[in-house]
Structure 1
Amino acid sequence: MRRALALLALLAGAHALAQDDAASRAAEEAKARRQLEQVRAEIRTLTDAQRSTQGQREEATRALREQELAIAAVARELVAIQTRRDEQQRELDALNRRRTELTDALGRQREALAALLRSAYALGRHEELKLLLQQDDVAGIARVLAYHRYFQRARLGRIDALTADLEQLAEVQRQIEVRQAELDATQAAQEAESRRLAGERATRAELLGTLEATLKTQAARLAALGKDEGALLGLIEKLRDVFADIPRQLGVADAFPSLRGRLPWPLQGKLLTGFGAADESGRASAGWRIAAAASTPVQAIAHGRVVFADWFKGYGLLLIVDHGEDYLSLYGYNEALLKDVGDWVAAGEPVARSGVSGGQSVDSLYFELRHKGKPIDPKVWLRR
């Protein structure tokens, strides 16, 4: 009997323990489900936030593109204005030299006329009348009359020449005033464009700050750069198809491979990031980043044809030149592009102006060399 009671008590205790374990497991499962739901809610919130941030970034990128294209147009117009200003200055210099020549000639004419007047005065104002009254010296009368006629003709000729020089000098002076007014107007336009460019740059800098604020972490920036590089590779493949009809050696004496080690730099500046070195995001650079002052001329490294000239995400205002035999040179971060798609360029010819497009904070040039779509180290191709 006692054993039965003990066994019954043991079974009852075991059942109670089993019930406690089941309740504990149920509580833990419920807690885990609540935690899972919280995590899922956080994921949804984070996903929505990322989607919103991505939308803001894309909107800022579109605005940045428009802003930098506007800056490029202003910078290109400044180059044209400076060219016109130089031409007007040369015309003004030529007119000033002509004015100096006419002023000198006018001085000589005045001196000659003064000498004639002095000679005429020396003969006497009434000498001709006196000689006519002296009938006994016919030869003297003829001689003095001849002198008078000579001085009269010379005096009239000098007066005519002096009058012509004065009229020409007045015309030159008028042209100088017109050219000076044109030069002043051009100067004012250039200064207005410069102020406008400064305003555009300030707006772009503010926009850039907003854009950079959306890139919260290094990983996000790295992912964005990876996408940019992938998009660039896709662009290059498309360009290779579109411009497949370009002659392989572009009709020049020296094929591009033969220029290895002899190519000039696109601009002179300090090398900030070399090929394969880690850039600001920590990823290996596919090209060079060269320090440059704002608006520094960027030159083509070799003869070729422009196959791309537009804004490209991650590279800003980008220009690509096809040199034949599947060799391309890329010039990014520019302030202005001076060539259009289809233009042929010579080695050393300016093709762009350096800047800070593409989301950069420091003026520089991004330069790449590619062969069959793959980046190659510029170091072994460019001479220092």
Structure 2
Amino acid sequence: MNMLHNRYKFSARVTCGLVLFLCLLFIESSNQKAYAQQSTNEKLSDVKSAISKQKTTIKQVGSKKQKLLTQLKNDDLAIAKIVKALNKTHASLKQTKKRLNELVKEKSQIIQAKKQQEAVLAKQLRTAYSTGHHDYLKLLLNQQDPGSVQRNLTYYQYLNKARINEIDQYKQTIAQLIEITNQQQQQAAQLQSLESTQNQQKLALEKNKKQRKATVAQLNKALLTSKQKLAKLEQEEADLVSALARMAELSKQEIDLNGLSKLKRKLSWPVKGKINRSFGSRKQDYLKWKGVLLAAPLGRQVKTIHNGTVLFADWLKGYGLVTVIDHGEGYMSLYGHNQALLKSVGERVETGEPIALVGQSGGQSQSALYFEIRHNGQAVNPKLWCR
């Protein structure tokens, strides 16, 4: 009995121990689960907070990018305005200098004529002096032969008339000389004023260029990833296609333009320069160039490839200052990244006529012309038309 009792007590102790162990194990497991749940909740909270911050950052970047794009547009337009004014001032300066040179030549000719007239008058005065200063009355009284009197009288009348004519001409020459001198002074003053205006415009241009450079740098900094750049390019291309579609509708009104179908490899490039980006080459990921990028110096004239009507002349996101020409029959040519636009919407242009100046608007780091040819809204290779 004692042995059975001892066994029972031992078994009871083991059972209690196991129960106690299991209880402790359960409690430990519960504690671990609670700790894990708490850790998971904390991590989830951290992730949610990070997502919220990221959304806020993305929103701020998007807002900043939009502001920078607006600033870029304003910078490009300000530069274009100054360049157009500078271009006009340069033309006026050229014309004024030409007029000044003409006035210098005219003045030289008048001075030469004045010297000749003075010589003639001096000769006439010496001739009159050599006759002894006789007046008509003395001539009449001292002459006995009526024929001689008449001849002398006619001679002196001729001399007198010639002298009066020379004096009148001399007066006119002096008046012309005074007038030319006044014009010369006015032109010189205008030249000085134009040069001063030109210097001010150049300073303003440099200031705006620096502002634009800073804007482009900030804009590039805002585009952190290639995915963002791709999205930007996709949006810009979509905007361009949409704008060209609207222009195509407007161009249907033109019935006297013959298009470009018969002009393959007969047209001149809009500007002389190396092709930095070819039609169809990779632009970003799967996006390809729909036109060509021609490297050219800042301010070089951009000329239309064929006659037509200006459909668009304004700033376009991603392409800067753009001119689009309608050539009829569904053909259009596009000229982008200009520094200034020389033609307005609705104007007719002839083949080879300057329509813009090469620039780097739209966020470009180097001066170049972006050039496209489209037919019925589809981009075609410009090399098939230009030589």
TM-score normalised by the chain length of structure 1: 0.87
Any idea what the Cα deviations from partners look like across 1:104-125, whole Å, max 9, x if unmatched?
A: 2212212212222232233334
Deviation at 1:262, TM superposition (A): 1.7
Within the candidate set 219, 222, 227, 2:230 is matched to 222
Residue aligned with 1:318, SS: strand
Whole-Å Cα distance in 1 between the matches of residues 28 and 135 of structure 2? 155
Within the candidate set 62, 75, 78, 2:70 is matched to 62
Within the candidate set 67, 72, 75, 2:83 is matched to 75
Residue aligned with 1:286, SS: coil
Pair 1:129–1:241, CA change in 2 (3 A): closer
Whole-Å Cα distance in 2 between the matches of residues 308 and 130 of structure 1? 89
Within the candidate set 30, 49, 57, 1:49 is matched to 57
Within the candidate set 325, 339, 342, 2:343 is matched to 339
Residues 309, 325 of structure 2: 8 Å contact kept: yes
Whole-Å Cα distance in 2 between the matches of residues 369 and 321 of structure 1? 10
Match of 2:195 in 1: 187
Whole-Å Cα distance in 2 between the matches of residues 113 and 220 of structure 1? 88
Q: How does 1:28-47 map to 2 (within 5 A)?
A: 28-47=36-55
Structure 2 gap ranges (5+)? 1-6
Structure 1 gap ranges (5+)? none
Deviation at 1:281, TM superposition (A): 8.1
Within the candidate set 200, 211, 214, 1:203 is matched to 211
Q: How does 1:1-384 map to 2 (within 5 A)?
A: 23-125=31-133, 143-247=151-255, 250-252=256-258, 255-279=259-283, 283-383=287-387
* Larger mean Cα displacement after TM superposition, 210-219 or 160-169: 210-219
* Larger mean Cα displacement after TM superposition, 282-291 or 6-15: 6-15
Residues 306, 352 of structure 2: 8 Å contact kept: yes
Residues 257, 329 of structure 2: 8 Å contact kept: no
Deviation at 1:59, TM superposition (A): 1.1
Q: Which structure has the bigger radius of gyration?
A: 2
Whole-Å Cα distance in 2 between the matches of residues 244 and 127 of structure 1? 90
Deviation at 1:244, TM superposition (A): 3.2
Pair 1:141–1:326, CA change in 2 (3 A): closer
Whole-Å Cα distance in 2 between the matches of residues 124 and 219 of structure 1? 108
Residue aligned with 2:261, SS: helix
**Percent identity over the alignment?**
31
Deviation at 1:333, TM superposition (A): 0.9
Amino acid in the other structure paired with 1:307: L
Any idea what the Cα deviations from partners look like across 1:260-297, whole Å, max 9, x if unmatched?
A: 22221111112111122234889532221111211211
Amino acid in the other structure paired with 1:191: N
Residues 131, 140 of structure 1: 8 Å contact kept: no
Deviation at 1:190, TM superposition (A): 2.5
> How many correspondences in the alignment?
379
* Larger mean Cα displacement after TM superposition, 211-220 or 37-46: 211-220
Amino acid in the other structure paired with 1:292: A
Residues 303, 356 of structure 2: 8 Å contact kept: yes
Whole-Å Cα distance in 2 between the matches of residues 233 and 12 of structure 1? 78
Amino acid in the other structure paired with 1:251: L
Match of 2:3 in 1: none
**What RMSD in Å do the two structures reach over aligned CA positions?**
2.9
TM-score normalised by the chain length of structure 2: 0.86
Whole-Å Cα distance in 2 between the matches of residues 260 and 134 of structure 1? 97
Whole-Å Cα distance in 1 between the matches of residues 305 and 81 of structure 2? 24
Amino acid in the other structure paired with 1:320: V
Whole-Å Cα distance in 2 between the matches of residues 302 and 13 of structure 1? 96
Deviation at 1:311, TM superposition (A): 1.0
Residues 128, 144 of structure 1: 8 Å contact kept: no
* Larger mean Cα displacement after TM superposition, 138-147 or 292-301: 138-147
Whole-Å Cα distance in 1 between the matches of residues 97 and 310 of structure 2? 33
Deviation at 1:129, TM superposition (A): 8.6
